Structure 1
Amino acid sequence: MKNSILALLAVAAMVACKKNETTAVDQSADSAAVIAPADTVMDVNDSTVVSDTSGVANSLSDQDKKFADAAAKGGIMEVMMGQLAATNANNATVKALGQMMVKDHGKANDELTKWASTVGYTLPAGLDAAKQKEYDDLKAKKGADFDRAYTALMVDDHKKDIAEFKKQAAEGKEASLKSFADKTLPTLEHHLMESKKAKNAVK
């Protein structure tokens, strides 16, 4: 009797051990199955994104690059000068013009930066020497002199901007950059109109 009870207990212990081993194998198999595909997918996606972006950046035409660089530097200057006008201008119309430039060109700069990030292109991060000099000269002016200088600059700059953006919209090769130029044109034309009004107000 004692022997048969011991034999039964031994069989039960063996069955329990086998169950545990099977569960452990199943769990490790499950976890391996989950981990392996996730790693593989991530690697494929990462390499695809890198090759795609560098491919687009390398295929940009000279016109695309020239426009993107000029638009980035011009946009930065418009925001910086607009901030000066919002605080330093005497005339309320000139102050309002500066505030509009900060808002609109800030938004356009964000869109251009997003485009550059998408295609893997590096934009200029600041002003070139010529634009820095223009900014420094304007910053040194006060009162009515500032108002006249700022509005004259805005009229001249926006005439040039409109010509550059029209050229890109017509001759650019990269589709999303062409679209950006085309979409921004009405805003620039509105800025030119408002700049002319402000210039006439401070003659």
Structure 2
Amino acid sequence: MKKSIVILLAIATIMACNKKETTSADNLSADQNEMSASADSGTMAGDSTSTAEAASLNGQDKKFADVAAKGGMMEVMAGELAAKNATNPTVKTLGEMMVKDHTKANNELKQWAAKSAYTLPTGLDADQQKKYDELKAKKGADFDRMYADMMVKDHEKTIADFKKEAADGAETSLKGFANKTIPALEHHLMESKKAKDAVK
């Protein structure tokens, strides 16, 4: 008799434990569902903010961001070639400066794009690629002349693009980036002209 009471008590205890575990498991899964729902709503809120930020860009902002991204990539790639292939020390130094300064500017532009949920181009356009390939094929003094000439022309155009964004852009932080970068670009133009004179 005692044995059967002990067995019954043991069975009752096990069943009670199982019931508690089930209940806590149910509560846990309810908590997880709640967390997941709130995470989803948080994500959705984040997405709508990003979308709103991207939507606040006007045509000028988008055009400028694309041109600045591709132009910046071109300056770094061509600068790397100049740092390696230039025979004139002024041209070599110019290339090194372009790589350093334009890498910094490119990174700032990428940070802006990430915050604004805007997708920047990741490669050169066909015309830039053609110019790059032509430059890559040059050697010696021909390379130096072509690079210096390219930097003068590119920076004259780039300064005009950045000034236009600073004046006509709608998105405040992008306008700020353009405005802040203009002095460095003007310095690049001045140094490019010096390099061009050095390899005439």
- Asked whether 1:114 is paired with 2:111, we answer yes
4+ runs deviating over 6 angstroms: none
CA distance in 1, matches of 2:129, 2:9: 86
Tell me by how many angstroms 1:116 deviates: 2.3
Task: Give the direction of change, closer, same or farther, for the CA distance of 1:152–1:17 in structure 2 (3 Å limit).
Answer: same
What's 1:187 paired with? 184
Q: Tell me the alpha carbon deviations over residues 86-112 of structure 1, each in whole angstroms, 9 at most, x when there is no partner.
A: 121101221121122122212222222
Instruction: Give the aligned partner of residue 6 of structure 2.
Output: 9
2:72 paired with 1:80: no
What corresponds to 1:124 in structure 2? Answer: 121
Q: 1:173 aligns with which of 170, 174, 189?
A: 170
Take 2:158 and 2:28, find their aligned partners in 1: how far apart are those partners? Answer: 58
Corresponding residue number in structure 1 for 2:38: 41
Greater displacement, 152-161 / 120-129: 120-129
Larger radius of gyration: 1
State, as a whole percentage, how many aligned pairs show the same letter.
55
Q: Mean Cα displacement is larger for which, 20-29 or 169-178?
A: 20-29
Q: CA deviation at 1:22?
A: 4.5
For the pair 1:196 / 2:193, whether they are aligned, the reply is yes
Q: Is it true that 1:89 corresponds to 2:57 in the alignment?
A: no
Q: Which moved more, 1:23-32 or 1:75-84?
A: 23-32
Matches of 2:111 and 2:99, distance apart in 1: 18
Equivalent residue of 1:60, what SS? coil
Residue aligned with 1:127, SS: coil
Extract unaligned runs of 5+ from structure 2. Answer: none
Q: Name the amino acid aligned to 2:71.
A: G
Deviations 1:155-175 (A, max 9, x none): 221122122112212221112
Partner AA of 2:92 in structure 1? K
Whole-angstrom distance in 2 between the partners of 1:155 and 1:174: 29
Matched with 1:27 is 24
* Number of aligned residue pairs: 200
Q: Unpaired segments of 5 or more residues in structure 1?
A: none
Find the aligned partners of 2:85 and 2:130 in 1 and give their Cα distance: 18
Q: 1:71 aligns with which of 46, 61, 68?
A: 68
| TM-score normalised by L of structure 2 | 0.86
1:119 is displaced (CA, Å) by 2.4
Task: Provide TM-score, normalisation by structure 1.
Answer: 0.85
- Equivalent residue in structure 2 for 1:50, among 47, 52, 76: 47
Relative distance call for 1:9 and 1:141 in structure 2 (3 A) is: closer
